[in-house]
Structure 1
Amino acid sequence: MHREGINVNDVQPEDILCDYCGRAAWALGEPCIEGHEGSIVCGMCLSKAFAKLVVEGSGEPVDQVCRMCLETRDQPSWISKIDQEATICLRCIKQSATTLEKSEHWEWSRPTGG
């Protein structure tokens, strides 16, 4: 997600916001993953989504398009607290977690149950 009123010819890190919490996580040096059409999930939101859907095994399928993959999937999704239209599907949560864990640029690890 991009901050409103940005100069599209001079996008700065602080103009790039997490779709799920609205923070400029990339500008703050926090882990982020980019999805389709510039969607962003920050490490903090990814941790919350992973904990709820994977660790706790909760969550329900929603009839909405995932912001990260732009697909509607018949599987649990995590919904943003600030934007009920911003969902991330279980598949994207797992793929993003794997990508962040392997990244040489970020220190991030997936939540565990213990």
Structure 2
Amino acid sequence: MHRPGSDPQDMQPTDFLCDFCERPWSERTPFIEGHHGSCICGDCLSLAIVERRGGGTASSGSCTMCLEHREDLRWRSPRRDASICDRCIDQATTVFGKDRSIDWSPPAA
């Protein structure tokens, strides 16, 4: 998501917000962007992974990241009306895991 009032012609890192916690992007906070400017930070991805290990949360509607309506279990943010499907959790985990420039690893099982 983008910070309200941000200039689309001059986007700054702090103009990108996590759709799940509204934290702004920074060099210390890994972010992945989905469709139409949706974003998830590493901390929220970690929460989604832990929640999924516990069985996940059934949710209806579309995934905030891929915009697809999916019937699989997904994690829903307790702070915002945002959810992420299993496929997007897996894709984001893979991308973060391969990026050696960020300090992130999936939570231990």
Shorter-chain TM-score category?
over 0.9
CA distance in 2: counterparts of 1:72 and 1:62, whole angstroms: 10
Which amino acid is 2:80 matched to? D
Which amino acid is 1:97 matched to? T
* 2:22 alignment partner in structure 1: 22
* 1:101 alignment partner in structure 2: 97
Q: Structure 2: any 5+ residue segments left out of the alignment?
A: none
* 2:36 alignment partner in structure 1: 37
State the TM-score, normalizing by the size of structure 2: 0.93
Residue deviations 1:50-90, cap 9 Å, x none? 1110x32x223311100111111111111112212x11011
Aligned partner of 2:70 among 73, 84, 87: 73
SS of alignment partner, residue 33 of structure 1: strand
Query: How many residues are matched?
Result: 109
Q: Structure 1: any 5+ residue segments left out of the alignment?
A: none
CA distance in 2: counterparts of 1:105 and 1:32, whole angstroms: 12
Whether the 8 Å CA contact 2:63–2:84 is kept in 1: the answer is yes
* 1:47 alignment partner in structure 2: 46
Give the fraction of aligned pairs with identical amino acids, expressed as a percent.
44
SS of alignment partner, residue 84 of structure 2: strand
CA distance in 1: counterparts of 2:103 and 2:26, whole angstroms: 16
SS of alignment partner, residue 78 of structure 1: strand
* 2:4 alignment partner in structure 1: 4
Question: How far 1:28 moved relative to its partner?
Answer: 4.9
